[in-house]
Amino acid sequence: MKNQKMFDLLLPLNSEQLNNLKQLEMTCTNIQSAWLSGYFWKIANQKSDVISLKKDKLNENNQIITIISASQTGNAKLLSERLNEYLNKNNKKSRLVNAIDYKFKKIKDEKILILIISTQGEGEPPEEALSLYKFITSKKAPDLNHLYYSVFGLGDTSYNLFCQAGKDFDKRFKELGGKSLLDRFDADIEYEDDYNKWSQDLLESINNKEIIVKSSFLDLEKENKFTILNNSYTKQNPAKAIILKNQKITGRNSTKDIRHIEIDISGLNINYIPGDALGVWYKNDTNLVKNILELLSINMFDKIKIKNNVITIFDALQNNFELTNNTKNIVKNYTSFTKNKSLKNIVSNDFDLQNYTIQTPLIKMINDYPSNLSAEQLISLLRPLTPRLYSISSSQAEIFDEIHITVSVVKKLISGCMHFGGASGYITQFLKPDDAIKIFIETNNNFRLPINPNTPIIMIGSGTGIAPFRSFMQQRDNDGAKGKNWIFFGNPNFTEDFLYQTEWQQYIKKGLITNMHLAWSQDQEHKVYIQERIRENGKEIWSWIEEGAEIYICGNASKMAKDVEKALLDIITENSGLNLENAHEFLNNLRFKNRYKRDVY
């Protein structure tokens, strides 16, 4: 007995805690055990951080800088982490928080705020920043006269509303009285040099400001809630995995070509959670590269210099540059090289230029207006190649050493020749089983299953937007989760486009899927869309919301997701007695509580 007491004293846990831990361990899968390990490590580190920060609070001259990451594809998150490290190395007190975890009502207590933000859809903030944006643009927004801030926007100049989210936040901060530490910077997809210069200028500006700031400590319970699972591979250092399967899952008469892709990751240190995305580095089609070079009278063996490396123009176009999307800047610059009168007329009118850019791929423009360019001139037109992200459609708890994605093939007939989208064409047309593919995991902590397996969930998706819900069902099936599951899915035709039909039928038979409502837009004279199915089931949806259900939307941001949100607002107003303004606030509160989650593109 004496030895047992001594043993208990030496343990960091008492007997009751140890017994509870052992009972929990018996119910956990390997993936869940790994997650818990990381979770408790995070808690331990956060508690030590809180102690340290509370000590700092005694020094009223501490300058606490809050960095908010608002990311869509992970770039803003990476830059925010780099900035946090950079400021700490330069003796600045900074903390990093994901926008979804930011206690936005306490923004009135901030003194120095740095926002690094991307733009999604039609100039909208990324999903994780919507609650903050809706708050600061509402009547409840506080005075920010005390605030010094800076915004670094990430975007793509090929879109009309370039870096619009950053511009909107910057404008609103100013309207509320905020003072700019440094002018907003709008960065294009090749942002590395711009970021380095901006971060140095930011530090200098902070040093030059004589700001005496009382430490303002937000609730750290949810801060730094970035992914716990560590992967050895990143966007900059991708893994080489192996293609296992490339299977068409739409019918022969379908207007869509959608593929189920299976990838072998055995032997690789890759972990993922349902809701994450797979980043894929791709190569441009050989025939497309040859066609462009031939039309521009460029020898494929001509040498160019890229980042101190001398390579052939053929290799550069295949591996380093975006060739499938056209932009207004490319059209303008190509026109200045070619002096073509037809292109000059297009460029002279903004409306015509916008329409032309949307409707005319790069290869068609060159095919219609060929010219003689040098390899250097061609390279100066183009944007760097970037990886594509695909929602993962599998659960690692069920399939272990594989990753599945669901890919819609982008293709267009141009001048009698079929041209494919860069990534979708590479994955589905070029790669075969046993071929290697460069991949990495892009975590998405804002699109997770409920922690409580008894929580009901409502999943809404169209087309390949069904992908993450396949991973959700695999995970819930594996976990034996008791929560109700309701799926809304839309596509053109029942017989041709019911993706993963047999799997859903098995889950329904098993009782895992409680409800499944389908919308086939082309199967009848009157087109039926997913939002109509949602309205038809409004009362039951509302009862699920009252039970604590979490709602997930995946798919097109500008069309489906907006229409679905309007339908949900209608359901709220009809069943709660709230007016439209309060219904918006109700939905935003669901978003803030992580009960309304969207993965839109």
DSSP output for 434-461: T-EEEEEEE--TTS---SSTTS-EEEEE
Is 389 part of any known ligand binding site?
yes
| 400 is an annotated ligand-binding site residue | no
One-letter identity of residue 69:
S
pLDDT at 104 (0 to 100): 83
507 marked among binding-site residues: no
Q: Which amino acid is at 601?
A: Y
Is 421 labeled as ligand-binding?
A: yes
* Dihedral sign, Cα of residue 266, residue 268, residue 269, residue 273: negative
Q: Provide the CB-side half-sphere exposure for 446 (13 A, CA).
A: 29
Per-residue pLDDT tens digits for 468-493: 999 999 999 999 999 999 999 999 99
The mean pLDDT of 7-29, rounded to a whole number, is: 55
Q: Is 319 annotated as a binding residue?
A: no
pLDDT in tens, 435-450: 999 999 999 988 999 9
**pLDDT at residue 33 above 70?**
no
pLDDT, residue 39, reads: 54
Q: Is 37 annotated as a binding residue?
A: no
Q: Which residue has the higher pLDDT, 538 or 306?
A: 538
pLDDT of residue 561 exceeding 60, the answer is: yes
Known binder of ligand: residue 502?
no
pLDDT of 557 reads 80
Establish whether 157 is an annotated binding residue. yes
Query: Which residue, among 495, 253, 591, 503, has the nearest Cα to 516 in the 3D structure?
Result: 503
Position of tokens 């903050």? 132
Question: Is 94 assigned to a binding site?
Answer: no
**Mean pLDDT, residues 551-571:** 92
State the DSSP string of 402-432: EEEEEEEPPEEEETTEEEE-HHHHIIIII--
Per-residue pLDDT at 45: 47
The answer to the question of whether 506 is labelled as a binding residue is no
389 vs 529: CA distance, rounded Å: 26
Residue 220: its pLDDT value, please? 37
- Kindly provide the b/e burial profile for residues 336-354, where b requires at least 16 CB atoms within 10 angstroms of the residue's own CB: ebbebeebeebbeeeeebe
Burial letters for 239-269: b for 16+ Cβ neighbours within 10 Å, e otherwise? bebbbbebeebbeeebebbbbbbbbbbeebe
Tell me what pLDDT residue 523 has: 84
Which stretch of 1-15, 78-92, 221-235 has the lowest confidence by average pLDDT?
1-15
**What integer is the mean pLDDT of 552-562?**
89
Confidence label for 25 from pLDDT (cuts 50, 70 and 90): low
Please count the CA atoms within 13 angstroms of the CA of 25 that sit on its side-chain side.
7
Tell me: is residue 118 an annotated ligand-binding position.
yes
- Does 156 count as an annotated binding residue? yes
CB within 8 Å of 28: residues ≥ 6 apart: 36
> Annotated binding residue at 161?
yes
Burial of residue 313 (number of CB atoms within 10 Å: 0-12, 13-18, 19+): buried
Q: In this structure, are strands 239-248 and 179-180 parallel, antiparallel, or unpaired?
A: unpaired
Q: Was 529 annotated as part of a binding site?
A: yes
Given a cut of 50, is residue 106 above it in pLDDT? yes
Is 158 a known ligand-binding residue? yes
Establish whether 155 is an annotated binding residue.
Answer: yes
Band (pLDDT 50/70/90 cuts) for residue 159 is confident
- How many C-beta neighbours within 10 Å does residue 10 have? 7
Q: What is the pLDDT of residue 592?
A: 87
Rounded to whole angstroms, the Cα distance separating 542 from 486 reads 13
Query: Given a cut of 80, is residue 590 above it in pLDDT?
Result: yes
423 is in an annotated binding site: yes
- Helix (H) or strand (E) segment spanning residue 327: none
User: Across the chain, what does the average pLDDT equal?
Assistant: 86
Residue 472 · residue 274 · CB < 8 Å: yes
Q: Is 73 annotated as a binding residue?
A: yes
Q: 242 - beta bridge partners?
A: 264, 436
pLDDT tens profile 316-340: 999 999 998 899 999 999 999 999 9
Q: Is 406 annotated as a binding residue?
A: yes
Q: How far apart (Å, rounded) are the C-alpha atoms in residues 63 and 554?
A: 40
Q: What is the pLDDT of residues 390-434, one digit of tens each?
A: 999 999 999 989 999 999 999 888 777 788 899 999 999 999 999
Rounded CA-CA distance 248/259 in Å is: 4
Domains of the chain: 1-56 (no CATH), 58-208 (3.40.50.360), 239-282+387-442 (2.40.30.10), 286-381 (1.20.990.10), 457-600 (3.40.50.80)
Cα distances (Å, whole numbers) of residue 433 to 263, 265, 403, 427, 428? 9, 13, 14, 11, 11
Token pair belonging to 47: 């508690």
Binding site annotation covers 483? Answer: no
Lowest pLDDT segment from 66-80, 455-469, 506-520: 66-80
What are the structure tokens assigned to 493, written together?
Answer: 């035709």
Beta bridge partners of 558: none
Q: What is the pLDDT of residue 366?
A: 95
Element (H, E) at 295: helix 286-295
pLDDT classification of 377: cutoffs 50, 70, 90: very high
CB 116 within 8 A of CB 76: yes
pLDDT computed for residue 511 by the predictor: 95
Place of tokens 């926008």: 99
158 backbone φψ class: left, alpha, beta (φ>0; ψ -120 to 50): alpha
Q: Supply the pTM of this predicted model.
A: 0.76
Query: Is 154 known to sit in a ligand binding site?
Result: yes
Burial of 579 (0-12, 13-18, 19+ CB in 10 A): exposed
521 among annotated binding-site residues: yes
* pLDDT above 90 (res 75): no
279 marked as part of a ligand binding site: no
Half-sphere exposure of 6 (CA within 13 A, CB side): 3
Smallest CA-to-CA distance from 110 within 174, 170, 64 is with 64
Q: Are 264 and 241 in contact (CB under 8 A)?
A: yes
pLDDT at residue 306, as a whole number: 87
The closest of 332, 308, 330 to 321, measured between CA atoms, is 330
Q: Please tell me whether 527 is known to bind a ligand.
A: yes
Give the confidence band of 17 by pLDDT, cuts at 50, 70, 90: low
pLDDT at 54: 41
Q: Please tell me whether 424 is known to bind a ligand.
A: yes
Q: Is 435:243 a contact under the CB 8 Å cutoff?
A: yes
Q: Tokens 């250097």 — which residue?
A: 376
- Strand (E) positions, 357-401? 388-391
160 is in an annotated binding site: yes
Determine if residue 177 is labeled as part of a ligand binding site: no
Instruction: Establish whether 29 is an annotated binding residue.
Output: no
User: Sign of dihedral through CA atoms 334, 339, 341, 345?
Assistant: positive
For residue 554, what is the enclosing H or E element?
strand 550-555
pLDDT digits (tens, 9 = 90+) for 354-366: 899 988 999 999 9
Q: Which tens digit of pLDDT belongs to each residue from 195-249?
A: 999 999 999 998 887 544 433 333 333 344 444 455 678 888 999 999 999 999 9
CB atoms within 10 A of CB 124: 20
522 is in an annotated binding site: yes
> Span 539-555, mean pLDDT?
96
390 is in an annotated binding site: yes
Q: Is 422 annotated as a binding residue?
A: yes
* pLDDT bracket for residue 131 (50, 70, 90): confident
Cβ neighbours, 10 Å, residue 540: 13
